[in-house]
Amino acid sequence: MKEMKLVPLVLIVFLFVRHGTFALFTPVDNYLIACGSSKNVTFQDRIFVPDSEHSSLVLKIDNSSIASSNSSVPSPIYQSARVFLGISSYKFGIEQKGRHWLRLYFYAIPKSGQNLKSALMSVVTDDFVLLNNFTFNNYNGSYMSKEYAINVTSNTLTLTFIPLNNSIAFINAIEVVSIPDEVLPDQALALNPTAPFSGLSELALETVYRLNMGGPLLTAQNDTLGRTWENDVKYLHVNSSAVNVSVNPAIIKYPISVTPETAPNLVYASAEMMGNANVPVVNFNITWVFTVDRNFTYFVRVHFCDIVSMSLNTLVFNLFINDDTALPSLDLSSITNDLSVPYYKDFVSNSSVDSDTLTVSVGPDTVAETTNATINGLEIMKISNKFRSLDGPLSVESLLPSSPSKNINVGIIVGSIVGAVVVMVVIGLCYCFLVARKSKTPQQGHPWLPLPLYGNSQTMTKMSTTSQKSGTASCISLASSNLGRLFMFQEILDATNKFDESLLLGVGGFGRVYKGTLEDGTNVAVKRGNSRSEQGIAEFRTEIEMLSKLRHRHLVSLIGYCDERSEMILVYEYMANGPLRSHLYGTDLPSLSWKQRLEICIGAARGLHYLHTGAAQSIIHRDVKTTNILLDENFVAKVADFGLSKTGPSLDQTHVSTAVKGSFGYLDPEYFRRQQLTEKSDVYSFGVVLMEVLCTRPALNPVLPREQVNIAEWAMTWQKKGMLDQVMDSNLVGKVNPASLKKFGETAEKCLAEHGVDRPSMGDVLWNLEYALQLEETSSALMEPEDNSTNHIPGIPLTPLEPFDNSVSMIDGGNGTDEDGEDAATSAVFSQLVNPRGR
């Protein structure tokens, strides 16, 4: 009994000795403000003082009021709010210059006498835009807390609230708290390309994700800097890929370079490691997926602490951020010289311009003795842009009204400049008019030209340089190929009214897409690439190479391109009804009928089947998703966006080894783990599309409960129960033939098989979807299937469809004008199922 009592005493002494070397951080500036409150409010063991009673706070208000509620609210901090009818500000006296946390708390208090949910506002500091054009009407949640890291260089910090469009602004609580200088550095390692990045101290940061890997939620009560750390599970790409592990926080040994202010020991005492350690597939990774704003770069801090190894130098793994190798062959013990010692690394990821997701992965290194990987914590912070904004392309100056004296000075300067340059403008206009007349003459005589990949093209010169730098093989010249019409840049400007934002159709990984009208009145879709993106250049070339070879009723046609002035512009046929996703959710468009959905899926399947079988060598799309299935004015589906497409394996190969590309939520798990691409990877993605069409929700939705985040996993659990109708679109309930739904569900289930060998070909998928349509169009009594196999329909031989042979002949020199031949051939194949009413 005496020995048992000694154990906790030893632990207490150990903790005192271990942590006694670190003084508890006391911020010099520590404003905790309860806005609009009449009394102190306790929140997370901290006391917030009313804004009207704080002696070091100056409040400049233009017609404010107070909102409060006695009803249940998310926490006491949200019981009151200060409401502003005009531009108003808080001015905080700053004693210690440097980084400060600025935390804002918003809750649209119901029944408070003010319609706070409709409040439209912007929030700025002296130098940075924090929120712009924000309203809870567009926010998916009832309350919101925002955390920013602002470098204060003067003796005051002003926080201004700007009501917009004759609306109001409001705030529930504010924190302004000093941060130790060493917590947020001035430098980090930039990725893509890898290079030192300095100047972070001059920029503002917004915390978007802070995760305690494998551990519980941590709040200000567990963190000396008042931070919140959430659990990571809902961001895991594959839940089963990781398992959590934890140890006693007392064994964490902080080195000199890391303190509890870097991260609490509770963060380093828990971790995620590989769910199947020592697996034979060394390319297996644990991946977390985060939704981000593609227009910003991100500061990423990764926390490590080896709490899983039994001895030194046995754990070696790689860290990836997006497609970039951030830390190759990381051996923690060789850096820390011990186990259970914290270590962190900072990065700046500038590749978010190509995607609205940011991914972080860890996986074993090939030289490691044990195939395992681990991570303890992760912080992702948005970095302010060139406008010094964290929300959009507007600066503080453009949001705040200018002072009268400033307007006078600006007027004098502008007036003098205008008087000096007016003659030069007239001369310039005359010159441009003459040049335009000259450039228009030869263009009309040669509207169809090959892509000048090795001519004077600045874009392709850049591509060549990029290839040389990266050590990749030089591209094969396509100068002799007829790749479509070569548009002059001026033609593109005229067609899109100089890229008028009112003509914007959407934004993708490659760039922005606008509606355009050519001189002859033809409507087109104009995709303008991001010239700063090296990946965009590769996609530009791939798209032209692929689509120049392909012509099919269910593939979006490439009309031409523009490769002038470093622009990367692709011109496609215009698809009047836009992407399939917009007809499923997120818009107020009318709901599609079950028959329409089946016909759309069939059209997309035909397009993919043609890619896989209709050319001399198969083509794998690699990015099949509902935004890449477009609908024309008759709701005919066409597959689009071939920027990531890849030529399939040759006859003597089973797969193509390549880096993982695609969209999370649609990625084939086998391809993701092994980096081995086959046509069955497209089949898996199409299976996700089928579930998305049926359930009308995104492929990934991190805000949902864990079991519902991934639509493929969630819908499959109901399909295996035979209860898929329980999760289908409510608009379809009672309007779908049960036999048709059953066949559709079986088809999707086969597509989503874990292993590619167990999935059907796109031809099999096509047949089964056609069958599901026939079941929908005829009575279930006459069409009840005797065989539930998803791979074929009884009585129909598994031979290539005739329409795809016709498609091949188009590539080989056929005129390809008889697009109706495809439907006729399909009708012949399905003669035993034809509905007398026709389609």
CA dist 790 and 95 (Å) reads 71
Q: How many helices (H) and strands (E) does the chain have?
A: 17, 40
Residue 111: how many CB atoms within 10 A of its CB? Answer: 9
Paired tokens of 208: 């978007």
Cα separation, 456 vs 180, in Å, equals 53
325 token code pair:
């190798």
Rg of the Cα atoms in the chain: 30
Beta strands 324-331 and 374-375, pairing class: unpaired
**Number of other residues whose CB lies within 10 A of the CB of residue 699:** 21
DSSP, collapsed to helix, strand or coil, labels residue 316 as strand
- As to burial, measured by CB atoms within 10 angstroms (0-12 exposed, 13-18 middle, 19+ buried), residue 149 is buried
How far apart CA 637 and CA 608 sit, in angstroms, is 11
In the block, residue with structure tokens 């926490």: 75
Check if the beta carbon of residue 784 is closer than 8 Å to that of residue 771: no
Query: Beta strand pairing status for 80-84 and 64-68?
Result: antiparallel
Q: Has 527 been labeled as part of a binding site?
A: yes
Report the greatest alpha carbon distance in the chain: 101
Task: State phi, psi for 442 to the nearest 5 degrees.
Answer: -70, -25
Burial class (CB in 10 A: 0-12, 13-18, 19+), 172: buried
Query: Mind giving me the DSSP string for 167-189?
Result: --EEESEEEEEE--TTTS-SEEE
Query: Edge-to-edge strands of the sheet including 504-507?
Result: 485-486, 558-562, 569-573, 523-529, 511-517, 504-507
Q: How far is Cα 92 from Cα 56, in angstroms, rounded to an integer?
A: 7
392: which 2 tokens?
């959009």
Of 391, 623, 729, 764, the active-site residue reads 623
Contacts of 444 (CB under 8 A, 6+ apart): none
Question: For this structure, is 623 an active site residue?
Answer: yes
Residue 141, exposed/middle/buried by CB under 10 A (0-12, 13-18, 19+)? exposed
For residues 352 and 298, the answer to whether their CB atoms sit within 8 Å is yes
End-to-end Cα separation, the chain, in angstroms: 85
How many whole angstroms separate alpha carbon 401 and alpha carbon 836? Answer: 70
Q: Give 353's DSSP letter.
A: G
Distance CA 316, CA 255 (A): 21
Question: CB–CB of 376/303 below 8 Å?
Answer: yes
Say which residue the tokens 């990625």 belong to.
667
Paired tokens of 694:
């049926």
Q: Given phi > 0 = left and psi -120 to 50 = alpha, else beta, which region is 394?
A: beta
Annotated binding site: 527
Which residues are catalytic, by number?
623
Annotated binding site for ATP: 527
